[in-house]
Amino acid sequence: MKERLLFSGVGGQGVLTGANILAKTFLTEGKKVLMSEVHGMAQRGGSVICTVCVGDVYSPLIADGGADVIVSMEPVEALRYIKKLKRDGVIITDINPVIPPNVSIGESKYPDPEEVFKELSSRGKLIKIDALDIAKKSGNAITKNVVMLGALAGMDLLPIGKEKILESVKNNIPEKYVEMNERAFNMGLKAVKV
Amino acid sequence: MDVLSTQKKALLLGNEAVVRGAVEAGIDVATTYPGTPSSEIADTFSKIAQYYKNKGLEPGFYFQYSTNEKVALEFAAAAAVSGLRALTCMKHVGLNVASDTFMTYMYVGCKAGHVIITADDPSCHSSQNEQDNRYYAKFGNAPLLEPSDPLEAKDMVMEAFKISEELSLPILFRMTTRTSHIRGPVSLGRINLKKKKGKFEKNPLMVTVPEVARKLHPILLEKMEMAEKISENSRFNYVEDFGGNAGIVSSGPSHNYVREAVEELGVKCKILKLGMTNPLPRKMCIDFLKACGRVLVVEELEPFLEEQLKAIAHEEEIDVKIYGKGYGGLSRIYEYDVDIVERVIRKFFGLKEKESASSSIPIPPRPPVLCPGCPHRATYYAVKQVAPEGTIYPTDIGCYTLGKAPPLEVADFLLCMGSNVGTACGFSYATNQKVISFMGDSTFFHAGLPGIVNAVHHNHDCIITVLDNRTTAMTGHQPNPGTEYDGMGNEAVMLKVEDVVRGLGVKHVEVVNPNNLEKTKETFRRALEYKGTSVVVSKAPCILLIPQERRAGSFEIDQNKCTKCEVCIKKFGCPAFYYDGDKIKIDETLCSACGVCTQVCEPHAIRRKK
């Protein structure tokens, strides 16, 4: 069994925290898991990528065409790493663009989100959710990463149960925020249920 | 804390695994100057110390964020020669700073084990160069260990203390970004922390005057001969045989990619995995080369192993073809990944290339930027308002290098820690342009002082700005000599930048809060008028140090008042501003409510959101 997940987004969106919670769930379930993280300069509004590889794996980095799932906190950040996705892979992305400053000052262009979604759909199974809106409804925009984890759990793609992932969310978040994050997780989970 | 887990296994970051190894090995003294990708090693020691202290327990070790890497190495060296186990960690360029100490420390040697960790940064994720520090092991005659993953990192640190003690020689331990910042399962043993005091026994051979140094050098070379024997028998050097007579040699994170590709492609080969890479296990290498018809060497950056293996093959007259740098896309630049390594292994075994495709839609780059609410932005904006055309802005190592990007563009020259001042002096002599240089508070203490002394002594006409945000921000908010607490969480003597520079003889010194733009502009105007060396201390805490609650809320734009002059976007450059259609808006998830933008908006269109 091998499962490779790629998490992407913008520095400050909780990409690492979300991926870390998931990786810990795998370890608690007795599975080998490797993870790679981006630290340092990229924390400050830069593009952030983090990978979680489970099972009989040696490298925490994912080869082109090797990711089963891309979970992205921002549409263009899903597209940036699309060559990593397997042919029949799944993309779960939040729909809210975060406009880079070089776009605001006119140095580059942010593509039309509809075109981004069209391109993503041509590469795999695309699940779009308004995670920001859900996060705000759960109590705070900061829970967006947990909404995305809930959505991922709701897709039934992983070799671990959703209740285990929720358990890991609860165990790895400061106590006073547990309730809000549980709400965020469940709302994310419902958002992808057909 | 995962790193103190009492379970059999924990999911640890490579850097945390290093600390766990040290904690199980009974570390006594750990020192550092923080630098990515090594920072979490030190931060984890700091957290452990404070965790125990908060529980009313004695941490059982001492940890220090030293002023710079040289001081860090010297402090720990004194502990190690007094019989205390020591660890010093730094980023690769940190070892340049500590190299003067390092080179002669090898001659003197240690008593208890001393592990010197260098965290290299292939691809310069957060560095000014990507030097391969394995050459320091050869240069200084230090045994060298290179782990591939967190589990190996932990085991190797424990072994490193033993080797260091066996040889009475400090040992170099090379992490890279992809060993420091990967997380994996680590098997745990018993935590072994107990506060001890050492004893320094005097020995004339520890005073490296020429006569002594001449005696010590041959002793060092003898120690390295002993080290080779250790390398021959090290469990971190081993061969994996998957059949055939093709060979692959690798070390560090490259090995992970080799293993992954070999399994994915199902090719037959023997793999020599090297964990102790200085000195190389010569006999083991000879046997491996003899058993292979051709060998591929996969290592990041320089051909460190490749050239040594080629020399061995030549000296031993072994009929083997060795491939490395320049073959199949193996480069001396940037870090490797699974794709690069899989491509070369496909070529080595005559397999077809794999196809892959990026998106055809152009994607805007998203480089790191100064945070919304960062006080550096306010300083830069004010400086740009008053500095004459052609002003040169030498900069330094820290978040503030991000001021290089448009629209601020206040970074013109950068070499290394502290280089802003030395180069500012040079520019002021070499040109008729005005010079305003920048460095952070931590950089000021680390390497800024000698440059300022030079400026004052020669009366160079330049403005030296210390962006004093009360922390070492970029590497993760470590304390520095300007903060009132230290790495153990103890109260510390807080040095004020302005007092220090006055003490160094600077006559024109001003302190200003950059979040007040008018006052900041006036301050720089006065400094520009002053003939000679002046220092501006631009003092406001890093926005991330301000509690979340006080950063809550957001500003918004009154669209009726906004004239679209674009000063907020095109001059001030706060990332929270963006165009939504033809309206300028503020992204409330990014805004940190500092309110400095209200001072740049002439039509007063920016107001606090209710």
pLDDT digits (tens, 9 = 90+) for B411-420: 999 999 999 9
CA distance B432 to B424: 12
Asked if the C-beta of A33 comes within 8 angstroms of chain B's C-beta atoms, the answer is: yes
Judged by DSSP in three states, B409 sits in coil
Asked if the C-beta of B53 comes within 8 angstroms of chain A's C-beta atoms, the answer is: no
Contacts A40 to B, Cβ<8 Å: 36-37, 39, 125-126, 474-475
* Complex ipTM value: 0.95
- What pLDDT is recorded for position B272? 98
Asked if the C-beta of A186 comes within 8 angstroms of chain B's C-beta atoms, the answer is: no
Closest residue in B to A74 (Cα–Cα): B366
DSSP letter for B402, please. G
Closest residue in B to A32 (Cα–Cα): B185
B359 with A119: Cβ contact below 8 A? yes
Asked if the C-beta of A59 comes within 8 angstroms of chain B's C-beta atoms, the answer is: yes
B590 with A98: Cβ contact below 8 A? yes
Asked if the C-beta of B402 comes within 8 angstroms of chain A's C-beta atoms, the answer is: yes
Would you state the structure tokens that stand for residue B489, as one six-digit string?
A: 């969480």
Nearest to A105 among B356, B363, B406 (CB): B406
Would you state the structure tokens that stand for residue B567, as one six-digit string?
A: 């000063």
DSSP B77-123: HHHHHTT--EEEEEEHHHHHHHHHHHHHHHHH--SS-EEEEEEE-TT
Asked if the C-beta of B469 comes within 8 angstroms of chain A's C-beta atoms, the answer is: no
The shortest C-alpha distance from A16 to chain B (Å) reads 11
CA–CA distances in Å: residue A31 to residues A114, A160, B53, B89, B516: 38, 10, 34, 31, 54
Q: Is a pLDDT exceeding 80 seen at residue A15?
A: yes
Contacts B9 to A, Cβ<8 Å: 27
A60 with B182: Cβ contact below 8 A? yes
Question: Each residue of A20-60: pLDDT tens digit?
Answer: 999 999 999 999 999 998 875 555 688 999 999 999 999 99
Contacts B125 to A, Cβ<8 Å: 38, 40-42
The shortest C-alpha distance from A192 to chain B (Å) reads 24
> Would you put residue B449 in left (φ > 0), alpha (ψ -120 to 50) or beta?
alpha
Question: Each residue of A125-139: pLDDT tens digit?
Answer: 999 999 999 999 999
Closest residue in A to B571 (Cα–Cα): A105
- What pLDDT is recorded for position A193? 76
Asked if the C-beta of A126 comes within 8 angstroms of chain B's C-beta atoms, the answer is: no
- What pLDDT is recorded for position A43? 59
CA–CA distances in Å: residue A68 to residues A65, A71, B435: 9, 10, 53
CA distance B106 to B213: 11
Contacts A141 to B, Cβ<8 Å: 589
- pTM comes to 0.96
CA distance A144 to A136: 8
The shortest C-alpha distance from A155 to chain B (Å) reads 25
Decide: A172 and A131 in contact? Cβ < 8 Å: no
DSSP letter for B571, please. I
A107 with B406: Cβ contact below 8 A? yes
Contacts B178 to A, Cβ<8 Å: 36, 60-61
Nearest to B182 among A32, A35, A109 (CB): A35
Q: Residue B284: in which H helix or E strand, if any? A: helix B282-291
DSSP B499-553: HHHHHTT-SEEEEE-TTSHHHHHHHHHHHHHS-SEEEEEEE---GGGS-HHHH-S
Nearest to A99 among B184, B260, B578 (CB): B578
- What pLDDT is recorded for position A160? 92
Angle at B355 between CA B349 and CA B358, to 5 degrees: 140
B184 with A35: Cβ contact below 8 A? yes
Asked if the C-beta of A64 comes within 8 angstroms of chain B's C-beta atoms, the answer is: yes
Omega cis (within 30) before B34: no
Contacts B358 to A, Cβ<8 Å: 82-83
B371 with A62: Cβ contact below 8 A? no
- What pLDDT is recorded for position B357? 84
Would you state the structure tokens that stand for residue B248, as one six-digit string?
A: 């692959």
Below-50 pLDDT ranges, chain B? none
Question: Each residue of A127-183: pLDDT tens digit?
Answer: 999 999 999 999 999 999 999 999 999 999 999 999 999 999 999 999 999 999 999
Judged by DSSP in three states, B38 sits in coil
Q: Which of B39, B157, B174 is nearest to B120 (CA)?
A: B174
B359 with A83: Cβ contact below 8 A? yes
Would you state the structure tokens that stand for residue B538, as one six-digit string?
A: 């631009």
Contacts B474 to A, Cβ<8 Å: 40-41
B474 with A41: Cβ contact below 8 A? yes
Q: Which of A68, A1, A57 is nearest to B182 (CA)?
A: A57
The shortest C-alpha distance from B477 to chain A (Å) reads 11
Alpha helices in B29-91, H assignment, sequence order = 39-54, 69-81
Alpha carbon A107 to chain centroid, angstroms:
28
DSSP letter for B279, please. S
Q: Is a pLDDT exceeding 80 seen at residue A194?
A: no
- What pLDDT is recorded for position A40? 59
Asked if the C-beta of B474 comes within 8 angstroms of chain A's C-beta atoms, the answer is: yes
Nearest to B361 among A66, A100, A119 (CB): A119
Contacts A41 to B, Cβ<8 Å: 36, 125-126, 368, 402, 474
A65 with B9: Cβ contact below 8 A? no
Asked if the C-beta of B366 comes within 8 angstroms of chain A's C-beta atoms, the answer is: yes
